[in-house]
């Protein structure tokens, strides 16, 4: 379909919760294709609809490596139904060009969603691998949550943001990661 303009950190709609998809229509199919086209054009591993200004609960992920064939995954109305373990890893976001920081994520997640054909599926992503982190990252976008809200060190993250001329963290938006903190301190 088309490569869309990606909203940048600081644009209001990135913080707005998204609406459920009631029907996997042609419009949703076109949205998914736009997300994939934009994600691949920007060399990303995931893209959520709010990042292109469409507040529907839809995201795509492709964690294939350079030498592997593309393997796009589509998640419509996703819900993380199980989570465990914890991991700290560097993350970035297409909406934050060139800005990377350490964030806390669950190591293992189980997500339930609809696929591009409107069929329900359940997927597990384990061991803190890229797929697990990408699902959580993109799912957060659907709730107006950004990766920096899970940062390990707010002040280091503010320095990274400043270096890239991005607004500082809003302390009120920081996630309550107490469950993750308990897991990390075991």
pLDDT at 1 over 80: no
Q: What angle do CA 139, 57, 55 make, to 5 degrees?
A: 110
Q: What is the pTM (predicted TM-score) of this model?
A: 0.96
Question: Distance of CA 44 to CAs 32, 49, 83, 150, Å?
Answer: 15, 14, 24, 19
Per residue in 155-185, pLDDT (tens digit) is 999 999 999 999 999 999 999 999 999 888 8
**Among candidates 61, 54, 52, 59, which has minimal Cα distance to 77?**
59
Query: Distances from the Cα of 78 to the Cαs of 17, 20, 70, 94, 109, in angstroms?
Result: 13, 9, 21, 20, 12
How many domains would you assign to the chain?
1
pLDDT tens across 63-118, in order?
A: 998 889 999 999 999 999 999 999 999 999 999 989 999 999 999 999 999 999 99
As a whole number, mean pLDDT of residues 29-56 equals 97
Q: Does residue 42 lie within any of the structural domains? A: yes
Catalytic residue among 138, 156, 159, 172: 138
Query: 147 lies in a domain?
Result: yes
User: Which CATH number fits the domain that encloses residue 87?
Assistant: 3.90.45.10
Q: Which domain holds residue 161?
A: 12-184
Is 20 one of the catalytic residues?
no
Q: Name the phi and psi angles at 133, rounded to 5.
A: -70, -40
Closest by CA position to 78, among listed 149, 136, 15: 136
Percent pLDDT > 90 in the chain is 93
- Does 2 fall in a domain? no
- pLDDT on residue 66: 83
- Judge contact between 148 and 107, C-beta under 8 A: no
């Amino acid at each position: 379909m088309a490569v869309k303009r990606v909203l940048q950190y600081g644009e209001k709609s990135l913080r707005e919760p998204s609406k459920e998809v009631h029907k996997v229509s042609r419009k949703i199919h076109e949205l998914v294709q736009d997300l994939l086209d934009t994600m691949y054009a920007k060399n990303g591993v995931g893209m959520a609809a709010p990042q292109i200004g469409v507040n529907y609960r839809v995201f795509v992920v492709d964690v294939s490596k350079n030498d592997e064939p593309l393997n796009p995954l589509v998640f419509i109305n996703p819900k993380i139904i199980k989570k465990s373990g914890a991991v700290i890893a560097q993350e970035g976001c297409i909406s934050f060009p060139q800005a990377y920081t350490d964030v806390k994520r669950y190591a293992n997640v189980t997500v339930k969603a609809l696929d591009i054909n409107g069929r329900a599926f359940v997927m597990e992503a384990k061991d803190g691998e890229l797929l697990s982190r990408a699902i959580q990252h993109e799912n957060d976008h659907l709730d107006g949550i950004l990766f920096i809200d899970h940062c390990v060190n707010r002040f280091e993250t503010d320095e990274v943001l400043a270096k890239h001329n991005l607004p500082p963290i809003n302390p009120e938006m920081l996630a309550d990661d107490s469950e993750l903190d308990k897991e990390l301190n075991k």
